[in-house]
Amino acid sequence: MTRQTARILALHGGLLAVLFAAQFVLPAYHHGNLARIMVLASYAIGYNILFGYTGLLSLGHALFFAAGMYAMGLGIQYGGLSPAPAFLAGVVAGALISGALALLALRTTGVAFMIVTLMFAQAGYLTILYFGEYTRGDEGFVIQTAQRMLWGINLSDPVNRYFAAFGLFAISLSLSLWMVRAPFGRVLVAIRENEDRVQMLGYDTYVHKLGAMVVSGTISAAAGAAYGLLFGYAGASFASVQYSIFPLLWVLLGGAGTVLGPFIGTLFMFYLIDLSSGVTTAYMLIAGVVLVALTLFAPQGLAGEVRRRVWRGLP
């Protein structure tokens, strides 16, 4: 193991150790927040694989998040599934939908790709509203505590919920770190830098982008399924365009194309809104000013700036 690899493992392993230990010291309020942040950060990690590493800006990731959430939720509500197979159904739904969307959307590039992904996500959102008889539309539906028992473990219990969120985040982070350091991930970065050149080296860039989109969509769907399962609710707002913009913001703030960026961005944004809303009702104004300042002074995001100024090898 090289010194560089050891440092990378120490940093990412260190973050996981801190998050694990935080469970025992955090007050109840922040304990709950951190569980939510870890699930949303997993969503951002999925988004980062497509946007940060492959350079494809999607405006439709809410479709994958909601696909996971609804396949899981409807599976429990109407299919009588227990949490484990319902979660699996959510993950599979995300993989299938992201694969199908990739086949169509990857025929386009740039702005057209953004528009196609946005349109499909809107179609997904409208589909949820259309089938309101089952999905309960905007209102959504609650997944009862009794339906969230996983092998006798109550997932609505804060401690169990925290560990489940931690498990999802640890898997997502590790997968992301492994992938970007593996040859497949290197090719994704190369595609982001110069797709023509990658083709000229003999790589089928379409297949690589397809793979990136499926992995990204699957992780996003897993986050959606976990969110519904751990917080007991599935609603159409999670399929709205707002939930496609959120991961983009989190990733940009934390540092696109960095493994830790999505977590940092999600944590930062969550607490920025949480704290500023305690100060004033015009909290979005405060959030906006801080975001503008960050964009001006840390254009590569927080982790991106660390990479630029301190540690060039930060993955």
Partner 1 sequence: MLRLEAIDAGYGGGRVLQGFSLDVAAGEIVCLLGRNGAGKTTCMKAIMGLLPLMAGRVMLDGQDIGRLPAHEVPKAGIGYVPQGRRLFAGLSVAQNLEIGLRARGSGRDTLEEVLDLFPRLRERMAQPAQTLSGGEQQMLATARALCLRPKVLLLDEPTEGLQPSMIEAIRQVIVQMRDAGVAVLLVEQRVDAVLSVADRVAFIETGRNGEVMEADALRADHGIVERYVGV
Instruction: Give the residue with the Cβ less far from partner 1, 146 or 310.
Output: 310
Beta bridge partners of 141: 234
Shortest distance, CB of residue 286 to partner 1, whole angstroms? Answer: 33
- SS3 state of residue 93: helix
* Closest separation in Å from C-beta 228 to partner 1: 36
Give whichever of 159 and 207 is closer to partner 1, judged by the CB atom: 207
Q: Cα(first)–Cα(last) distance of the chain, in Å? A: 16
Percent composition of the chain: helix, strand, coil (DSSP 3-state, to 5): 80, 5, 20
φ, ψ for residue 131 (rounded to 5)? -95, 45
Rounded to whole angstroms, the Cα distance separating 133 from 217 reads 27
The letter for the amino acid at 53 is Y
Angle between helices 183-200 and 158-181 (to 10 degrees): 40
Indicate the residue among 12 and 192 with the shorter CB distance to partner 1. Answer: 192
3-state secondary structure of 142: strand
Least Å from the CB of residue 207 to partner 1 = 9
Which is nearer to partner 1, 2 or 281 (by Cβ)? Answer: 2
**Which residues in this chain contact partner 1 in the complex, by CB under 8 A?**
4, 183, 186-187, 189-190, 192-194, 196-205, 257, 312-313
Angle 110-130/83-105 helices, nearest 10 degrees?
140
Nearer to partner 1, 133 or 196 (CB): 196
Name which of 81 and 180 has its Cβ closer to partner 1: 180
Which conformational region is residue 109 in: left (phi greater than 0), alpha (psi within -120 to 50 degrees), or beta? beta
Among 217, 221, 228, 220, which residue's Cα sits nearest to residue 73? 228
Nearer to partner 1, 95 or 191 (CB): 191
Closest contact distance (angstroms) between CB of 259 and partner 1 is 14
Q: The tokens of 265 are what?
A: 């961005």
What is the C-alpha to C-alpha distance for residues 78 and 86, in angstroms, rounded to an integer? 11
Q: Which residue's structure tokens are 């050891």?
A: 6
Give min distance, CB of 4 to partner 1, in A: 8
Q: Cα–Cα distance between 308 and 305 in angstroms, integer?
A: 5
Which CB, 145 or 194, lies closer to partner 1? Answer: 194
